[in-house]
């Protein structure tokens, strides 16, 4: 789960990281009021969306008086911001962070994440602050320093000191930089983060070490023990179909094409998306109905897939292990009754109770439901029927 | 033969009184698995499925029944603790089925296992099955036929799918293992490949990977340097967008790392054939076996 910059900063502040004074504003009036409360000459107006690259996209403005704050806020709120991380459709700005500007002496990069290979938390730091760290890693990997943290003892002072010296902090701020690392680590562990990133971390002209930006991502599996984090969820930032799917314990990712896929198991669901593309189609989604499907869950899956106007066919690809084909087949029949089938459905069933599943579909004889002999036939037919349906829609339109 | 589990495995089921655990323990028993004990705290003295005694702790179960292998079906918030309990009780192998264990809990588990003998399969996995000998986890039994191909996969359903395709093509298996879809887990591809390499019964290996992490790339390098048997690959997630979690917690392309294209390239560079689609895994295996002159021996069913 992701949260906004201002929320991340609030959490880091609680753990002792120094952040600029600021508040989240939802209207130009609020923005102006918060700007007045700040005692600085220059105020930063920052668009709050769950994506990086906001500065380059025009989402960060420096205001020199209250009128400027107000006009920047009016211009940004409601605007669609397109950054390299949002995709071409961009994201609408609903919130702003109104923050005091800092006198920057130098920018750095600092982050924590879990290293899969060593099964340890790894701290990464670099003097190349404010840049895309992937770019730094690709071009000049020697400029990124790493400290692997022993889970038995946690982040040790020698490591924060070594990192601070490696990153090139002046002696006068070594202690403050080390302290920032320790605080960031404490937050990471306490809140079950999957990523904690400060980019840039700055040293100000006044000799303070300040998190100018902050990004915290959380491990979804750990959220059950952090209701305070769950409460920060911003549903405006999430795809409504992905959200509806999550509520029904379905795993769904919108992919934007016109052949919808309903599959059991994440691996097969990914591979089904791939095979649709392989046969010349455009997959509309990844959808894993999980190992314990019920008829209701299948019906809900159909509701979600068909709520996408772009969808022109549905490919059901099931290998019944724990999921039984008869339950899936009954689910398709039920979905046809309660949700209605707007587009052709192509079903490939194999595995546990396959004969029973095929019998249910055959006997129900639902118009628009096709049974495929095997996966290849099913994928090809789904692609073909989507193209036909699309053509019909175009002729009608 | 086969690897990690077999006729001599004495199995304890952690969380045995749960609905899913009891259901699968029954299938394990019917398949011939030697299930000697179950564990659910507070339920010692009871019996499950008429014959399996329940204990409060894994240590009790191990002491009383000689259990040396554990399979875990407990909810996510208790599962990390259950793995450590099994390791502490001296299990040779622990197979954890549970999905959604917090990553930082798994970091602790891996640290705990460091200087212990216990091998961990999973979590978030379908388990392991040595054909006609032993089944731990969720794998459907009827799709397996005895033979000479080992199967290892990060995905549950793809383990079943490929096994089914192999069986349909007349190619039997030795052991099929799902190593799980989490970013931090127990054994990885190389551990399994190494074991298959040393197993006399196994003549070839089917390896199913997916986006996220670099385990497939590392396996490719290991295969090139060490593997004496043909390996056939498949990678799912070619169309996965970066930064999106594709069902499995570990299936995510982050910072441009972990793409299907990179993995396929690494495998191809190591001389490993990778099936074009999920539907052609079985036929790709058949082709590779024929090229290696192993088809007749491997055509066992």
Query: Are the beta carbons of A221 and B102 separated by less than 8 Å?
Result: yes
Residues in chain A with CB shorter than 8 Å from the CB of B135 are none
In the predicted model, is pLDDT for residue A54 greater than 70? Answer: yes
Residues in chain B with CB shorter than 8 Å from the CB of A134 are 255-256
Residue A86's pLDDT band (boundaries 50, 70, 90)?
A: confident
Q: What is the ipTM of this complex?
A: 0.95
Residue of B199, B195, B285, B213 lying closest to B253 (CA atoms): B213
Three-state DSSP string of chain A: CECCHHHHHHHHHHCCCCCCCEEEECCHHHHHHHHHHCCCCCEEEEEECCCCCCCCCCCEEEECCHHHHHHHHHHHCCCEECCCCCCCCCEECCEEEEEECCCEEEEEEEEEEEECCCCEEEEEEECCCCCCHHHHHHHCHHHEEEEEECCCCCCCHHHHHHHHHHHCCCHHHHHHHHHHHHHHHHHHHHCCEEEEEEEEEEEECCCCEEECCCEEEECHHHHHHCHHHHCCCCHHHCCHHHHHHHHCCCEEEECCCCEEEEECCHHHHHHHHHHHHHCCCCECEEEECCCCCCHHHHHHHHHHHHCCCCCCEEEEEEEECCCCHHHHHHHHHHHHHHCCCCCCEEEEEEECCHHHHHHHHHHHCCCCEEECCCHHHHHHHHHHHHHHHHHHHHHHC
Q: Look-up: residue for tokens 């249910």? A: A360
Question: How far is residue B172 CA from its own chain's centroid?
Answer: 17
Please state the length of chain A: 397
pLDDT of res. B51:
95
Of A138, A266, A352, which has the smallest distance from its Cβ to B181's Cβ?
A266
Q: Which of A52, A257, A265, A267 to mutate to probe the B interface, most B CBs <10 Å? A: A267
Of B106, B247, B277, which has the smallest distance from its Cβ to A274's Cβ?
B277
Catalytic member of B144, B148, B248, B299: B248
Cβ atoms of B89 and B53 closer than 8 Å? no
Query: Are the beta carbons of B138 and A321 separated by less than 8 Å?
Result: yes
Mean pLDDT of chain A: 94
In the predicted model, is pLDDT for residue A45 greater than 80? Answer: yes
B 245-274 residues inside an 8 A Cβ radius of A: 245-251, 255-256, 260
Mean pLDDT, residues A241-266 taken together: 93
DSSP single-letter state for residue B280: G
Report the chain A residue with the minimal C-alpha distance to residue B255.
A134
Q: DSSP alpha helices (H): ranges in B31-177?
A: 58-65, 76-88, 103-113, 156-168
Query: Are the beta carbons of B138 and A322 separated by less than 8 Å?
Result: yes
Pairing of strands A43-48, A60-63: antiparallel
Backbone angles phi, psi at B40, to 5 degrees: -145, 120
Q: Which of B73, B140, B278 to mutate to probe the A interface, most A CBs <10 Å? A: B278
Q: List Cα–Cα distances, A240 to A88, A246, A340, B95, B167, in angstroms.
A: 18, 10, 20, 36, 41
B50: tokens are 């008429």
d(CA A271, CA B239): 9
d(CA B51, CA B228): 43
Residues in chain B with CB shorter than 8 Å from the CB of A372 are none
A75: tokens are 């211009």
Residue A296's pLDDT band (boundaries 50, 70, 90)?
A: confident
Of B108, B160, B246, which has the smallest distance from its Cβ to A270's Cβ?
B246
pLDDT of res. A224:
96
DSSP single-letter state for residue B186: S
d(CA A376, CA A381): 9
Cβ atoms of B11 and B34 closer than 8 Å? yes
d(CA A184, CA A194): 12
Peptide bond into B9 cis (omega under 30): no
Please state the length of chain B: 301
How far does the CA of residue A137 sit from the closest CA of chain B (Å)?
10
Report the chain A residue with the minimal C-alpha distance to residue B24.
A322
In the predicted model, is pLDDT for residue A323 greater than 80? Answer: no
pLDDT of res. A226:
98
d(CA A348, CA A378): 6
pLDDT of res. A88:
84
Which residues of A form the catalytic set? 109, 197
Cβ atoms of B118 and B87 closer than 8 Å? yes
Report the chain A residue with the minimal C-alpha distance to residue B156.
A265
In tens digits, chain B (301 residues) has pLDDT values of 799 999 999 999 999 999 999 999 999 999 999 999 999 999 999 999 999 999 999 999 999 999 999 999 999 999 999 999 999 999 999 999 999 999 999 999 999 999 999 999 999 999 999 999 999 999 999 999 999 999 999 999 999 999 999 999 999 999 999 999 999 999 999 999 999 999 999 999 999 999 999 999 999 999 999 999 999 999 999 999 988 999 999 999 888 889 999 999 999 999 999 999 999 999 999 999 999 999 999 999 9
Of B164, B240, B250, which has the smallest distance from its Cβ to A319's Cβ?
B164
% of chain A with per-residue pLDDT over 70: 99
Mean pLDDT of chain B: 97
Cβ atoms of A209 and A173 closer than 8 Å? yes
Report the chain B residue with the minimal C-alpha distance to residue A277.
B239
How far does the CA of residue A393 sit from the closest CA of chain B (Å)?
26
pLDDT of res. A397:
67
Sign of CA dihedral A96, A102, A105, A111: negative
pLDDT of res. B241:
92
DSSP single-letter state for residue B279: G
Q: Which of A136-140, A264-268, B296-300 has the lowest mean pLDDT?
A: A136-140
At B237-286, the pLDDT tens digits run 999 998 899 999 999 988 888 999 999 999 999 999 999 999 999 999 99
DSSP single-letter state for residue B200: S
pLDDT of res. B1:
79
Residue, of A386 and A389, whose pLDDT is higher: A386
Query: Are the beta carbons of B157 and A253 separated by less than 8 Å?
Result: no
Cβ atoms of B101 and B80 closer than 8 Å? yes
B35: tokens are 């299930």
- Dihedral angle of Cα B13, A352, A379, B149, to the nearest 10 degrees: 60
Cβ atoms of A101 and A212 closer than 8 Å? no
% of chain A with per-residue pLDDT over 90: 80
Report the chain B residue with the minimal C-alpha distance to residue A380.
B279
Residue A130's pLDDT band (boundaries 50, 70, 90)?
A: confident
In the predicted model, is pLDDT for residue A324 greater than 90? Answer: no
In the predicted model, is pLDDT for residue A394 greater than 90? Answer: no
In whole angstroms, how large is the CA radius of gyration of chain A? 26
B 11-40 residues inside an 8 A Cβ radius of A: none
d(CA B298, CA B301): 9
Residues in chain B with CB shorter than 8 Å from the CB of A86 are none
In the predicted model, is pLDDT for residue A322 greater than 80? Answer: no
Of A192, A277, A351, which has the smallest distance from its Cβ to B160's Cβ?
A351
Mean pLDDT, residues A170-179 taken together: 98
Report the chain B residue with the minimal C-alpha distance to residue A1.
B245
The answer to whether B211 contacts chain A (CB < 8 Å) is yes
d(CA A252, CA A254): 7
The answer to whether B107 contacts chain A (CB < 8 Å) is yes
Query: Are the beta carbons of B104 and A219 separated by less than 8 Å?
Result: yes
d(CA A107, CA B275): 47
Q: Look-up: residue for tokens 């497939």? A: B216
Query: Are the beta carbons of A286 and B140 separated by less than 8 Å?
Result: no
> Could you give the count of Cα atoms lying within 13 Å of B279 in the half-sphere of its Cβ?
19
Residues in chain B with CB shorter than 8 Å from the CB of A85 are 243
d(CA A238, CA A85): 14
- Dihedral angle of Cα B146, B284, B4, B221, to the nearest 10 degrees: 160
How far does the CA of residue B214 sit from the closest CA of chain A (Å)?
8
A38: tokens are 């700040």
Cβ atoms of B274 and B267 closer than 8 Å? yes
Residue A89's pLDDT band (boundaries 50, 70, 90)?
A: confident
């Amino acid at each position: 789960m992701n949260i906004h910059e201002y929320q991340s900063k609030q959490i880091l502040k609680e753990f002792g990281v120094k952040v600029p004074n600021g508040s989240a504003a939802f209207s130009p009036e609020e923005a102006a009021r918060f700007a007045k409360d700040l005692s600085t000459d220059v105020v930063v107006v920052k668009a709050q969306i769950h994506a990086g690259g906001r500065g380059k996209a025009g989402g960060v403005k420096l205001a020199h008086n209250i009128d400027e704050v107000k006009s920047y806020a009016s211009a940004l709120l409601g605007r669609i911001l397109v950054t390299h991380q949002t995709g071409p459709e961009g994201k609408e700005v609903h919130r702003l962070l109104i923050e005091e500007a800092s006198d920057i002496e130098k920018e750095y990069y600092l982050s924590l994440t879990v290293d899969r290979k060593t099964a340890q938390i790894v701290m990464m730091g670099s003097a190349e602050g404010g840049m895309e760290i992937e770019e730094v890693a690709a071009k000049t990997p020697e400029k990124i320093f790493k400290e692997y943290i022993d889970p038995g003892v946690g982040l040790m002072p020698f490591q924060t000191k070594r990192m601070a010296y490696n990153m090139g902090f002046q002696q006068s701020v070594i202690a403050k930089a080390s302290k920032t690392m320790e605080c960031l680590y404490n937050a990471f562990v306490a809140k079950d983060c999957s990523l904690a990133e400060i980019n840039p971390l700055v040293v100000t002209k006044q000799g303070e070490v300040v998190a100018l930006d902050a990004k915290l991502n959380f491990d979804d599996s750990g959220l059950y023990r952090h209701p305070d984090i769950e409460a920060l969820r911003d549903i405006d930032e999430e795809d409504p179909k992905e959200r509806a799917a999550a509520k029904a314990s379905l795993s769904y990712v919108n992919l934007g094409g016109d052949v919808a896929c309903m599959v059991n198991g994440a691996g097969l669901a990914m591979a089904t998306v791939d095979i649709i593309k392989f046969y010349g189609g455009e997959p509309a989604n990844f959808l894993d109905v999980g190992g314990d499907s019920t008829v209701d869950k299948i019906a809900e899956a159909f509701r979600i897939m068909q709520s996408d106007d772009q969808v022109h066919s549905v490919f059901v690809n099931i290998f019944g292990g724990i999921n039984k084909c008869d339950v899936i087949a009954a689910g398709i029949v039920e979905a046809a009754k309660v949700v209605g089938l707007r587009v052709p459905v192509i079903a490939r069933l194999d595995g546990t109770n396959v004969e029973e599943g095929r019998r249910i579909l055959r006997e129900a004889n639902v118009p628009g439901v096709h049974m495929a002999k095997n996966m290849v036939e099913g994928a090809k037919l789904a692609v073909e029927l989507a193209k036909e349906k699309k053509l019909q829609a175009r002729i009608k339109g | 033969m086969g690897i990690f589990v077999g006729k001599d495995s004495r199995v304890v089921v952690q969380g045995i009184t749960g609905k899913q655990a009891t259901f699968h323990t029954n299938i394990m028993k019917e398949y011939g698995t030697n299930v000697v004990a179950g564990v659910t705290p507070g339920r010692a003295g009871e019996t499950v499925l008429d014959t399996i005694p329940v204990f409060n702790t894994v240590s009790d179960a191990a002491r009383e029944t000689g259990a040396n292998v554990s399979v875990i079906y407990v909810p996510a918030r208790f599962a990390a603790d259950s793995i450590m309990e099994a390791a502490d009780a001296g299990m040779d192998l622990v197979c954890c089925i549970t999905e959604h264990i917090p990553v930082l809990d798994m970091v602790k588990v891996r640290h705990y296992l460091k200087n212990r003998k216990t091998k961990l399969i999973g979590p978030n996995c379908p388990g392991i099955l040595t054909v006609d000998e032993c089944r731990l986890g969720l794998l459907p039994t009827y799709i397996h036929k005895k033979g000479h191909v080992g199967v290892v996969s990060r995905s549950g359903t793809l383990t079943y799918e490929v096994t089914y395709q192999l069986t349909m093509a007349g190619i039997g298996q030795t052991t099929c293992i799902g190593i799980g879809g989490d970013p931090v887990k127990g054994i990885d591809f190389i551990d399994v490949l190494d074991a298959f390499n040393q197993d006399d019964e196994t003549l070839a290996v089917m390896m199913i990977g997916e986006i996220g992490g670099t385990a497939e790339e590392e396996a490719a390098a290991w295969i090139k340097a060490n593997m004496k048997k043909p390996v056939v690959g498949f990678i799912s997630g070619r169309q996965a967008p970066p930064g999106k979690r594709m069902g499995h917690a570990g299936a995510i392309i982050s910072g441009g790392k972990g793409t299907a294209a990179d993995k396929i390239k690494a495998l191809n560079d190591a001389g490993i054939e990778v099936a074009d689609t999920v539907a052609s895994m079985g036929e790709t295996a058949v082709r590779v076996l024929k090229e290696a002159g192993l088809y007749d021996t491997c055509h066992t069913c």
